[in-house]
Structure 1
Amino acid sequence: MQSATKGRSEIQQKQRRKVDAIRRFKNNVPLLILFIPVLLFYLIFKYVPMFGAIMAFKDYNFTQGILHSPWNGMQNFKILFSNPQTLNIIRNTFMLSVLNITVGFPLPIILAILLNEVRKQWFKKWVQTLVYLPHFFSWVIVGGIVITLFAEQTGIVNAVLERITGNTTSFLYNEGSWIAIFVGAGVWKEAGFSTIIFLAAITNIDPSLYEAASLDGANKWKQTLHVTLPGISSTAILILILQMGNVMSVGFDPVYVLQNSGVFNVSEVISTYIYKVGIQGGQFSLTSAMGLFESVVGFILVFSANMIARKFDRGLW
């Protein structure tokens, strides 16, 4: 008798769970419909192109296509890494990415903390807008601004220098100054976006923590050190892990619009190499091997960063 009652109870619970699942599905149909374009975007532009990675192991040609082109094993990788220029390209990509992260990662945190302390709302909104606005500029516009400022003959900076010292400097043709300008332009363009993210994280910190710290005699610096930074640490680690995946991907646009023959030795990166050798030169298999190498290194870096973060209970998965 008890087993029969227990059996009926389990059946009723399963039926209720099934009804609840159907109800939740019906309630979420509008959200699922909105999700379809996002799903299609990732399927079409992110997952389907992964199929082209097999070109890295083939001697690809247009006539036979991806499927029927002959296999050549690791030959493309041997050709790629036997070229001395490849190591220089990888070095440039890694160097510029590390500089972007080193300079561009802490700056938004500092800006967010400073903006959080501003009490004049009109001033705070104006600064937020001015800092965030460059994020919407294309790199073509940013490149035009950089050239307008630092061009040797017509640049505003050189015009001022010439009036003061009587000399001009080739900022865009000197390797050291080009790297500084490149990193600075990237930070100026993207720092505002990360600042908004960190500012939102700061606003989610419980105000009572600041009150308790103040009662304990903590000044603003100690409150920032012991309340604000720990409060946004999870967001900071999340962004840092995602940025680690782009260490081998500086991006095509920022380098291409600022690149010139005078700084080719430090400005040629993986993305510009793929464009010039793959698209313009038609060596699709060779650049597919380079792209696959870039993706594998990015995956390893993200996975490693997440493994380290997990030791502090901050991992993504």
Structure 2
Amino acid sequence: MNPATDPHPTVAAVGEAAVLAVLRGPGDAHSGDPVGNGDDAAVLGPAAATVVTTDMLVEGTHFRLDLTTWRDIGRRAVAQNVSDVLAMGADCSRVLVAVAVPGETTTDQIAQLSAGIHEEAARSGAVVVGGDLTSAHLVVVNVTAIGTLPDGARPVRIDGAAPGDAVALTGQPGRSAAGLALLLAGRADGPLQQSHRVPVPPIGSGTAARLAGAHALTDVSDGLLRDLAGVARASGVAADLVVDALPVDPLLAGAATALGAADPDAQVLDWILDGGEDHGLLGTFPPGATIPPGFTVIGRIRSGEPGEVTVDGDPRTPGGWDSARSVN
């Protein structure tokens, strides 16, 4: 069919330039930089400190096209990178996107992907300043997110936790894991399922944590226990969590029951501690610090075996996601 008359021509039919035009989004995004989207490279304006992170989504490993939409893939790809910028105590300002798709992908699907990318970038206060496109047998979306810190501000590192610090968390962990379980069970719609498809990073909370004097900060992507153990290990300390202090979404109990869990309470706790992919922020704050709004204190940092985490006083080996072990 003629690409000019086909309402949804494929990527192979229209060519790279046409697809890149769709990915750039409507109009010319004005970032205030000397060179923006559309040239060989973006040229960024001056900044006291620049925070850069990159991450990718691979079809079959991080998402399934039968369980999500192209728009939500775009949103998720941006959101999970923005979360890493927030975890340094910064705000995201720019995004670059590299996409690999099969040749039979339609321009309508690319338009949906682009809409999600630009929508989530805008929600985060960022603009898309460039990217790349190639062909592949699977869909791959790689995002580079860039943030800035003001003059004199230090990034909040993962290795700064100290004995006596309060451990605090944004959001309600476990929603993404419960949503995935529901999706795999054939339950396509619901707020938990959407939490898995598109995490919602707490915009502004990274800066708030930095201004409140947070000693350490990370995002919860691999599971609450695994990420807290990472903070503790890097900082040379141990951590204690209190189950009754954990923020629990009431929807989790309903999901566990609907899925026929033998022990719904235990299933809910597993999702909260080891689920991952919620992309909230996990920080430690010194004694006397005012915990920022949106954070819930869930435990304490103490001296001990570096990386050890106890739950109500009992050691627990973290589950969660391990990228290296996921590779076949």
TM-score computed with the length of structure 2 as normaliser = 0.21
TM-score computed with the length of structure 1 as normaliser = 0.21
More helix by share: 1
More strand by share: 2
Instruction: Name which one, 1 or 2, has greater alpha-carbon Rg.
Output: 1
